[in-house]
Structure 1
């Protein structure tokens, strides 16, 4: 995947993760909140990957 794809997917995962965390808080559901935290972290890693690809070129 390229820089733009990784960055976009990362942002989408962060937004979805934050929404799951908020819903987990509202429902008092620790499992859903934890799932949201994990998805948010996944998004952060995808965005970091996109930044690295942008710096080094999409060939990696």
Structure 2
């Protein structure tokens, strides 16, 4: 996995976690859901990079 891509995926996950926490603390369901979506986006990016790496090794 490329370092930049890995960092980007983790950044999305962290950003999502923060948004979800703030949304929960302020009772803002929209922000909480947006945070969950950001986390999912980060996880998907990470998974895609792992698949790319698996094909590069073969």
- Settle same-fold status: TM greater than 0.5: yes
Q: Return the structure number with greater relative CO, CA threshold 8 A, min gap 6.
A: 1
After TM superposition, give the deviation of residue 53 of structure 1 in Å.
1.1
Unmatched runs of 5 consecutive residues or more in structure 2: none
CA distance in 2, matches of 1:7, 1:50: 8
**How many matched pairs?**
55
Superposed CA RMSD in Å reads 0.9
Unmatched runs of 5 consecutive residues or more in structure 1: none
Q: Which residue of 1 aligns with 2:26?
A: 27
Runs (4+) of structure 1 exceeding 3 A deviation are none
CA distance in 1, matches of 2:52, 2:7: 13
CA distance in 1, matches of 2:11, 2:46: 10
Q: Which residue of 2 aligns with 1:41?
A: 40
